[in-house]
A and B are shown apart, each in its own frame.
Chain A
């Protein structure tokens, strides 16, 4: 007994923190998604993509690792007159903030009725919202600390973008909270055991998908990074390992965002039991469904980069305030008005 935990509990905790959904999972997710993104976009563009690195011939599976190894070998350059403390702390802070939200997302249901989650709290939805909001401040700090004009413009754009997506996200989450009557992500999943919120709240789903793409700065909303306008936005001056950390944190964020949408709208781990996996443990079956839903969402989010041109910042703000927010409010109103029909459909609450 250590800290009031029994031995199997400690093993489980270590498993959660280090393997899934802790440290190893976002890293593996980032690696696979970076590879997939490069390969898939290359195929859309009728190119081949990475080819040579990796175990299977002509797939380039280990290209992200090779890139990472190359990047950490490079010299770290700090620009003159930069605010050294903020400049150096920003990539680490970005990584920490990006990986933090994974800790509160339940990934599967254990046979004993508790959840596969690193830290269980009934207010997890609010916590994750708070974590997402913290991210642009790191961008602004990093952009300002770089002492470069392009970085400053990129940072200001990131801050402006926050105004566009933050309110629609909050409103859509409110709609979910109203429907399920709780801020607990695990309870929200259980409420969807018979029907997904994606079907009950299609408008809210579209709103949150678009707003989350803006939150992730994926094209068509990659305005803070707009290469053709501001070179690379706020991380322009970063080199080597710091740049690698920033890039990895982007994909950690993608991981937590797709997890969150899966939990909120796609019924989390719910799905028919897979025979082979279920025999080992029902947790694995839940994780399988969870990952499958995440993968589909990831493909949709990645596709944006291959098919849409980038929007301008004022167009995004316009879209955020005059399209997404009204839609989110309409969704809330519909949720209230149709309460009598959907309430019997929900389970668990």
Chain B
């Protein structure tokens, strides 16, 4: 009983000197895995206006609008549930998922990506990037 009372004391003290594995996010960014689904991006040239993506979307996040004499989807990131169904169904591979995870807006309307914004790729991350492998070393998981 006494051992069970005192043991956590030493265990806690021991952990106080272990390395934390927090990612200090705005300064250091975690590199996401290859498959990670951030948000959808559109390649306008490939789009054939077939409406498949609009039909399959469970949350009605996509909507057809006219853009440069062509019907292309418009994207509402606020409704999107990142399920990848539209990317899979697209016959010409015009839609794809990118690693952008930081999108916040002041209004709900700001989440609506008009086709020109929808088709833009975000700027590559210039800041310090940390990978899961480095984190694993900190955690003590990696064995070589």
Contacts and interface: CB of A to CB of B under 8 A. Distances in A.
Q: Taking the complex as a whole, does A directly touch B, i.e. does some CB pair lie under 8 Å apart?
A: yes
B144 interface: no
A47 B12 contact: no
B20 A307 contact: no
Contacts of A43: 15-18, 20
Nearest to B6: A307
Given A40-B16, A43-B17, A44-B16, A307 B11 contact: yes
A40 B8 CA distance: 15
A94 B128 CA distance: 48
Contacts of A45: 15
A276 interface: no
A46 B15 CA distance: 7
Contacts of A303: 9, 12-13
Contacts of A46: 15, 18, 20-21
Contacts of B9: 303, 307
A51 B11 CA distance: 25
Interface in B12-70: 12-13, 15-18, 20-22, 24
Given A303-B9, A307-B8, A308-B8, 7 more contacts: A43-B17, A46-B15, A46-B21, A47-B22, A48-B22, A51-B24, A306-B12
Contacts of B11: 307
Contacts, number: 31
A334 B19 CA distance: 46
B24 A48 contact: yes
Contact of B12 (A42, A48, A307): A307
Max count, chain A CB within 10 A of own CB: residue among B9, B12, B18, B24: B12
Interface residues of A, number: 13
Interface of A: 40, 42-48, 51, 303, 306-308
A47 B20 contact: yes
Nearest to A40: B16
Max count, chain A CB within 10 A of own CB: residue among B11, B17, B22, B24: B22
Contacts of B8: 307-308
A347 B11 CA distance: 39
A51 B27 CA distance: 12
Which 5 A-B pairs have CB atoms at the shortest separation, nearest pair first?
Answer: A307-B8, A43-B16, A307-B12, A44-B12, A44-B16
Given A303-B9, A307-B9, A308-B8, A48 B20 contact: yes
Contacts of A51: 24
12 contacts: A42-B20, A46-B20, A47-B22, A48-B22, A48-B24, A303-B13, A306-B12, A307-B8, A307-B9, A307-B11, A307-B12, A308-B8
Contacts of A47: 20, 22
Nearest to B5: A308
Nearest to B138: A46
A95 to B, nearest CB: 31
A42 B16 CA distance: 8
A42 B20 CA distance: 9
Given A307-B8, A307-B9, A44 B24 contact: no
A307 B24 CA distance: 26
Max count, chain B CB within 10 A of own CB: residue among A42, A46, A48, A303: A46
A44 B22 contact: no
Contacts of B22: 47-48
A199 B46 CA distance: 83
B137 to A, nearest CB: 15
A344 B137 CA distance: 59
Contacts of A308: 8
Contacts of B16: 40, 43-44
A38 to B, nearest CB: 13
A306 B16 CA distance: 10
A44 B15 contact: yes
Nearest to B10: A307
A319 to B, nearest CB: 12
A46 B23 CA distance: 12
Nearest to A42: B20
B52 to A, nearest CB: 46
B2 to A, nearest CB: 11
A51 B18 CA distance: 18
B8 to A, nearest CB: 4
B107 to A, nearest CB: 27
Nearest to A49: B20
Max count, chain A CB within 10 A of own CB: residue among B9, B13, B16: B16
